[in-house]
Amino acid sequence: LKLKGLGEFGLIDLIRQKSPQGQGVQRGIGDDATEIRLPAGHHLLTSTDLLIENVHFRRDWTDWNSLGHKAVAVNLSDIAAMGATPRYLYLGLACPGDTDLADIDQFLNGVLDEASRYDVALVGGDTCHSPGPWLIAVTIEGSAPACQAIGRDGARAGDLIMVSGTLGDSALALQMLRDGRIPDAELMARHHRPTARVELGRQLAERRLATAMIDISDGLAGDLDHILQASGVDGVVDELLIPVSAVFENGTDSRPVRQELTLYGGEDYELLFTVSREKLAEIEALGAELQTTITRIGSVREGPGRIWLRDSTGATHSLSVRGYDHFCRT
Ligand code: ADP
Ligand code: MG
């Protein structure tokens, strides 16, 4: 069965039937606008991401369920990076009329399964025909008690730079796919089914542990640069401290390759944050509690916003920043 057999309103109806009612939803899918009741004293945090076929994903490298999962996970990660609680999801979807309904169903299952893991409700969206590529626009709303969200601008000289999990796995998987190799299941999952650090982000905010925070979507260098620019400080990163997984270690054979993937690779969806030194023990306790590796990779110092990399010889040099810029691809 094809999408054009079901039609726009048939599809919206299908989505509505598959979506459990969310908490605080006064009016959800089916009216002109969604009406939400927020808890008193909470602020609304909103983030949007676009996923475009052949720009962000390729049909032959992923499956529809994973794509739905990832579309939600990357948005959850933005809310996590603010230290907020994700709550509501909006799905904009454009695809060709000859799309198999089975593919859409798999995609929706990926979206709804990942959302429900965090008690996030799909409460609205828009549905359109596309003349060619799929286009997926996900908007997520989260909430946090007033003055608790963590921005990019709070890093201060003397703070430590911390990162969750390991870096480079997703970029290694992508590189292998580009080279026509098949990454093993663990690497593939890091790329296609990332896990947002929702609980870690929220706890860092609730316990007031992080001074600045961002999620790593564009690579450590580019995303650390965002914190340093916003905060008006320099950062020193110790190359040897950058955490990598065993599969990453085994799958990369030289230091330059590892450096390229961890610093510039992106799509790790780990949290990068700064903390004052006195909080280090509390951070370690939180990591143990959540069974999440949190690694100190460097420190913040006075400066105009440069990144310094201390390499394995102990020499420190300033690092060029080249995050991913959609309009400056070479
Ligand atoms: P309008 O013409 O007013 O934009 P639509 O017909 O596009 O209304 O949407 C009707 C209802 O269905 C709205 O509540 C909208 O939020 C919801 N909706 C439409 N597309 C989607 C989708 N892809 N996912 C979730 N909800 C959707
Ligand atoms: Mg509409």
125 CA from centroid of ligand 2 (Å):
7
Q: Give the position, in ligand 1's atom list, of the atom nearest the Cα of 32.
A: 3
Which bound ligand lies closest to the C-alpha atom of 32? 1
The CA–CA distances, whole Å, from 317 to 236, 266, 313 equal: 9, 22, 11
Listed in sequence order, the DSSP H helices in 207-291 are 220-231, 246-251, 255-264, 280-290
Listed in sequence order, the DSSP H helices in 86-219 are 101-117, 169-178, 185-192, 198-206
Task: Please answer whether residues 78 and 197 qualify as being in contact, where contact means their C-beta atoms are separated by less than 8 angstroms.
Answer: no
Q: What is the pTM of this model?
A: 0.95
Predicted confidence (pLDDT) per residue in 140-184, tens digit: 999 999 999 999 999 999 999 999 999 999 999 999 999 999 999
Ligand 1 pocket, residues with Cβ under 6 angstroms: 12, 15, 29-32, 91, 93, 122, 124-127
Predicted confidence (pLDDT) per residue in 51-77, tens digit: 999 999 999 999 999 999 999 999 999
| pLDDT beneath 70: ranges in the chain | 323-324, 329-330
Distance in angstroms (rounded) separating the CA atoms of residues 328 and 330 = 6
Distance in angstroms (rounded) separating the CA atoms of residues 107 and 68 = 5
Identity of the residue numbered 63: D
Tell me, what's the pLDDT at 321?
85
Tell me, what's the pLDDT at 32?
96
